Amino acid sequence: MRLLVVGGSWFVGRAVVADAARRGWEVTVFNRGLSGTTAPGVRLIRGDWERPKDLKDLSAQGPWDVVLDVAGAVPALVRNVARAVADSAPRYVYMSTISVYRHWPHKPVDESSPLWDGDPDLDPGSRSWDPDAYGPLKAGCELAVRREFADRALFIRPHVILGPGEYVGRLPWWLRRIRRGGHVLAPAPASRSIQPVDVRDVARFTLGMIEKNAVGVYNLAAPPGRDTYGGMLQACQDVTGSAAKIIWVDEWWLAGRGVSEWTEIPIWRTLPTAWQMSAYKAQAEGFVCRPLRETVAATWEWMEAGGTAVRHERLAQHGLSPEREARLLSEWRVGRTAL
């Protein structure tokens, strides 16, 4: 299989490239060669998807059996890449996201749920991370790919992705925090079901579907009700060998004090519907999401082995500062004592 990966060197792309190389595929990646790493044996075509000349050069370097855009998030740029390779590959795969669903996290979602209105030709100008723009932009990217490849396109929409190489910094923050020990603030209830998906399972499913010549849309998430927030933190304690004491604090009390869901306390969402993504369609095609405990262990192993993620602007947004955590814990205790 001749696979061209657009991006391919940070997190999801790196996992995809590693898996494809293990399968003996002929893998080419297209990126600027500025950040991240390219696995040995993988052909790197250096180029910037913002530059028409680089895309013209790319189109001359095919053919490929399939192109997989892991990284694109600006519709007009995703369109330009897809257009550039349209004559060099019969099929196209786009790595999308749960955020394309208009009603997520307020309602459960499956593949038929309504999407944001996207504009396939939009370029907002800014390249900075904007959580409010992200979903509509990715929806626009899907439309751009659909317009160029019609029914020859496959779309993967994962829930939050964790695992070795994660640069957003969600699970690494939790692992470091619990390793540091002491009293650790956590958002109750510990029994909350969560659905992160392991990056290696995203890669395995995507490549498996490429092997099957599959097209269409597939959600990827852990089975609802299997993994819990408390289980994730317990796994963090187990793998780090930490004697930290987890203090479960009412989540509405935290929300009332302006603690930011998802970022200040990573992977925390108060809405139970945030964790009601259906991935049954993918499961029927053989998708298996390993238990979160294994993702936690592999991520810690990677960190302990000196693994460093690519530096990303989103990293700084994650985690409570030690001072704020101590202040919140002390206010929580005072409130409890007064009861």
Ligand X SMILES: NC(=O)c1ccc[n+]([C@@H]2O[C@H](COP(=O)([O-])OP(=O)(O)OC[C@H]3O[C@@H](n4cnc5c(N)ncnc54)[C@H](OP(=O)(O)O)[C@@H]3O)[C@@H](O)[C@H]2O)c1
Closest approach of ligand X to the CB of residue 178, in Å: 20
The CA distance from 332 to 144, in Å, is: 49
Element (H, E) at 81: helix 75-85
Specify the amino acid at residue 19. D
Closest approach of ligand X to the CB of residue 257, in Å: 26
Closest approach of ligand X to the CB of residue 166, in Å: 7
Instruction: Give 14 or 318: the residue with its C-beta nearer to ligand X.
Output: 14
The CA distance from 125 to 246, in Å, is: 43
CA distances from 288 to 196, 201, 208, 285, 335 (A): 12, 7, 12, 9, 44
Is 6 in contact with 70 (CB distance < 8 Å)? yes
Instruction: Give 33 or 182: the residue with its C-beta nearer to ligand X.
Output: 33
Is 5 in contact with 13 (CB distance < 8 Å)? yes
Q: Which residue has the tokens 């530059």?
A: 51
Instruction: Give 15 or 235: the residue with its C-beta nearer to ligand X.
Output: 15
Closest approach of ligand X to the CB of residue 309, in Å: 10
Question: Given the rule CB under 6 A, which residues bind ligand X?
Answer: 7-14, 31-36, 48-50, 70-71, 73, 95, 97, 138, 158, 160-161, 168
Instruction: Give 32 or 324: the residue with its C-beta nearer to ligand X.
Output: 32
Specify the amino acid at residue 117. D
How many CB atoms neighbour CB 84 within 10 A?
Answer: 24
User: What is the torsion angle, in degrees rounded to the nearest 10, for the CA atoms of residue 158, residue 160, residue 164 and residue 165?
Assistant: 90
DSSP 8-state code for residue 119: -
Instruction: Give 7 or 244: the residue with its C-beta nearer to ligand X.
Output: 7
Instruction: Give 50 or 250: the residue with its C-beta nearer to ligand X.
Output: 50
Instruction: Give 192 or 318: the residue with its C-beta nearer to ligand X.
Output: 318
CA distances from 36 to 13, 51, 69, 134, 332 (A): 10, 20, 16, 22, 42
User: What is the torsion angle, in degrees rounded to the nearest 10, for the CA atoms of residue 65, residue 70, residue 75 and residue 76?
Assistant: -60
